[in-house]
A = this chain, B = another copy of it.
Amino acid sequence: MASPILGYLDPEFLAVMDNTMALLRHLFQTENELSITLPGTGMSAMEAAVCNVVQPGDEVVVGIHGFFGQRLAEIVERHGGTAVRVEVGFGQVIRADQIEVALDAHPDAKMVAVVHGETSAGIRQPLKDIGKLVREREKLFLVDTVCSLGGAHIPVDEYLIDICYSGGQKCIGGPAGISCITLNDRAMAVIDSRSRPVDTWYLDLTLIRKYWLSDRGYHHTAPGSLIYALHEALRLVQEEGLQERFARHQKCGDLLKAGLTQLGLELFGDPENRLPMLTCVMIPDGVDDAAVRGRLLQDYGIEIVGGFGPLKGKAWRIGLMGYSCSERNVHYLIAALREIL
A residues sitting closer than 8 Å to B (CB atoms) are 1-2, 5, 7-8, 10, 39-44, 46-47, 51, 71, 74-75, 78-80, 167, 169, 175-178, 197-203, 219-226, 229, 303, 305
Residue of B nearest to A223 (CB): B177
**When chains A and B are docked, how far (Å) is the Cα of A222 from the Cα of B2?**
19
Partner of A199, one of B10, B40, B200, B219: B200
Given contacts A1-B1, A200-B47, A202-B47, contact A221 B167 (CB under 8 A): yes
- State the 9 A-B residue pairs at the shortest beta-carbon distance, nearest first: A177-B223, A1-B1, A43-B220, A47-B202, A41-B220, A40-B40, A200-B200, A176-B221, A2-B2
Residues of B within 8 A of A305 (CB): 7
**When chains A and B are docked, how far (Å) is the Cα of A165 from the Cα of B203?**
18
Residue of B nearest to A7 (CB): B303
Residues of B within 8 A of A1 (CB): 1-2, 225
Residue of B nearest to A167 (CB): B221
A43-B202 in contact (CB<8A): yes
| Residue of A5, A39, A46, A51 contacting most chain B CB atoms (<10 Å) | A39
Residues of B within 8 A of A79 (CB): 199
Residues of B within 8 A of A40 (CB): 39-40, 44, 202, 220
Shortest distance from the beta carbon of A270 to any chain B beta carbon, whole Å: 24
Residues of B within 8 A of A221 (CB): 41-43, 167, 169, 176
A41-B39 in contact (CB<8A): yes
Residues of B within 8 A of A303 (CB): 7, 10
**When chains A and B are docked, how far (Å) is the Cα of A220 from the Cα of B68?**
12
* Seed contacts A46-B202, A176-B224; 14 additional CB < 8 Å A-B pairs: A5-B176, A39-B40, A39-B41, A40-B220, A41-B221, A42-B220, A43-B201, A44-B202, A167-B221, A175-B223, A175-B226, A176-B222, A177-B223, A225-B226
Given contacts A176-B221, A225-B175, A303-B7, contact A197 B78 (CB under 8 A): yes
| Residue of A167, A201, A223 contacting most chain B CB atoms (<10 Å) | A201
Shortest distance from the beta carbon of A17 to any chain B beta carbon, whole Å: 14
**When chains A and B are docked, how far (Å) is the Cα of A176 from the Cα of B40?**
11
Residues of B within 8 A of A41 (CB): 39, 220-221, 223
Shortest distance from the beta carbon of A86 to any chain B beta carbon, whole Å: 21
Shortest distance from the beta carbon of A336 to any chain B beta carbon, whole Å: 17
Residues of B within 8 A of A2 (CB): 1-2
**When chains A and B are docked, how far (Å) is the Cα of A224 from the Cα of B167?**
14
**When chains A and B are docked, how far (Å) is the Cα of A10 from the Cα of B202?**
29
